[in-house]
Amino acid sequence: MYKFKNTVINVFKGDITDENTDAIVNAANNTLLGGGGVDGAIHKKGGRVILEQCKKIGGCPTGEARITTAGDLASKYVIHTVGPIYGSHRGDEENFLYLAYFNSLKLALEYNIKSISFPSISTGAFGYPIEEAVKVVVKAVKDVLEENEGIENINFVLYSDKNFEVYRDYFDISF
């Protein structure tokens, strides 16, 4: 457990679709219509209502975030964000990854979400190196929390042992 200002931050290994926070974050693709990894798992376990709401939204540009209800998941909302595909943004991957986390947290604040769970965005199929990504994650979280109150709990739910270890080690020296 870590703390930054009034927010408790947890890092653990698990399955984000089991989270019972107000919102979970979906590492989506631009269509928001489901895919592999976290995106596919959220759509599958959350049910058809998430897909129907995503169709109405009509997609999401890289670095931005959109919100739907959570369907059959334990959380109330799913915040869908699109991280960068590593090597596909002319060197602007760091900015797009930052915006994915930053905009997800800002959307959570708009909806008065008190607890939120994140996967490791862009570090799976999108190929972003986890050791670089975690630094961007911490910066985005601190930047939002420095200027805003309201989010009481942020969980980082990592599926792989390696991602969990990298996050834990970096958070140990950052908070």
Q: Where are the domains of the chain?
A: 20-150+162-174
pLDDT single digits (tens) 92-139: 999 999 999 999 999 999 999 999 999 999 999 999 999 999 999 999
Average pLDDT across the chain, whole number: 97
H or E element at residue 26: strand 23-28
* Alpha carbons 132 and 134: distance in angstroms, whole number: 6
Q: What percent of the chain has pLDDT over 90?
A: 97
Q: Please count the other Cβ atoms lying within 10 Å of the Cβ belonging to residue 19.
A: 22
The residues carrying an active-site annotation are 39
Full strand arrangement of the beta sheet holding 115-118: 2-4, 7-13, 153-158, 115-118, 23-28, 77-82, 65-69
**CATH numeric code, 20-150+162-174:** 3.40.220.10
Q: Please give the pLDDT value at position 36.
A: 87
3 state SS of 162:
helix
